[in-house]
């Protein structure tokens, strides 16, 4: 795995060992960021990002490489956490990141609201909805935040109240679902 574009383009990322994580493929990450960079849904420059079920941290680190101001990573498993710490250190972005050992479906209170969120739960786990609800309840999402959820292409997914679907893109075995969090629609 490598950073696809931006300040750290081409830098190699460490992937967690084992089969418990499924890092977003470089081509899917490239397609996702192509969509984001040519969209008016989010301003990447100076964005605050949360990467839930972070795995290697590739999505948050890609956002930093492309101009985001800060990335928080939420991950529970030890091997992925070790990979995130190694990648943050290798890219020398410790000052722009926060790594949290936590269950993304039951996140801790946010240190700040984010304008962009990535959720990449295990496929067919049913964890996307509890994670979205938890991030909203714990203050992780700024009003109008863009949330990108990666689910299996054949996985049923309906966002909870407050999350307006704006686009879906199939990408091989994955499906990217773009949602906008609207605080006034919650509830």
Q: Span 27-55, mean pLDDT?
A: 89
Task: Indicate whether 27 pLDDT > 80.
Answer: no
Domain for residue 7, yes or no? no
Residue 1 or residue 52, greater confidence: 52
CA distance 110 to 89: 23
Q: Rounded to whole angstroms, what are the CA distances from 62 to 15, 127, 181?
A: 14, 23, 22
Q: CA-to-CA distance for 93 and 58, rounded, in angstroms?
A: 13
Domain that holds residue 141: 28-185
Asked if residue 152 belongs to a domain, the reply is yes
Q: Is 26 left (phi over 0), alpha (psi -120 to 50) or beta?
A: alpha
Measured CA distances, 86 to 56, 74, 124 (Å): 9, 15, 28
Q: How many CB atoms lie within 10 A of CB 92?
A: 9
Q: Is residue 32 part of a domain?
A: yes
Residue 8, domain member (yes or no): no
Where is average pLDDT lowest: 10-19, 111-120, 146-155, 156-165? 10-19
Which pLDDT tens digit goes with each residue over 97-110? 999 999 999 999 99
Distances (CA, A) of 16 to 13, 87, 104, 132: 10, 11, 17, 24
- The CATH number for 83's domain is 3.40.50.150
Higher pLDDT, 23 or 49: 49
Q: How many independent structural domains does the chain possess?
A: 1
Instruction: For 57-92, give the DSSP string.
Output: -HHHHHHHHTT-SEEEEEE-SHHHHHHHHHHHHHHT
- pLDDT for 20 equals 54
Compute the distance between CA of residue 53 and CA of residue 132 in angstroms, rounded to an integer: 12
């Amino acid at each position: 795995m490598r950073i696809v574009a931006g300040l750290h383009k081409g830098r190699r990322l460490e992937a967690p060992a084992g089969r418990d994580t499924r890092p977003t493929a470089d081509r899917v990450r490239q397609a996702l960021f192509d969509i984001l960079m040519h969209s008016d849904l989010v301003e990447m420059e100076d964005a605050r990002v949360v990467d839930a079920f972070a795995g290697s941290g590739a999505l948050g680190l890609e956002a930093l490489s492309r101009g985001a101001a800060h990335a928080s990573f939420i991950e529970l498993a030890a091997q992925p956490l070790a990979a995130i710490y190694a990648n943050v250190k290798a890219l020398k972005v410790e000052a722009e990141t926060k790594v949290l050992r936590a269950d993304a479906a039951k996140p801790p209170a946010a240190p700040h609201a984010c304008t962009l969120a990535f959720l990449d739960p295990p496929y067919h786990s049913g964890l996307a909805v509890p994670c979205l609800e938890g991030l909203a309840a714990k203050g992780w999402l700024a009003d109008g935040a863009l949330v990108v959820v990666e689910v299996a292409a054949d996985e049923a997914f309906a966002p909870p109240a407050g999350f307006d679907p704006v686009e879906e893109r199939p990408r091989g075995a994955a499906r990217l679902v773009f949602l906008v969090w609207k605080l006034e629609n919650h509830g």
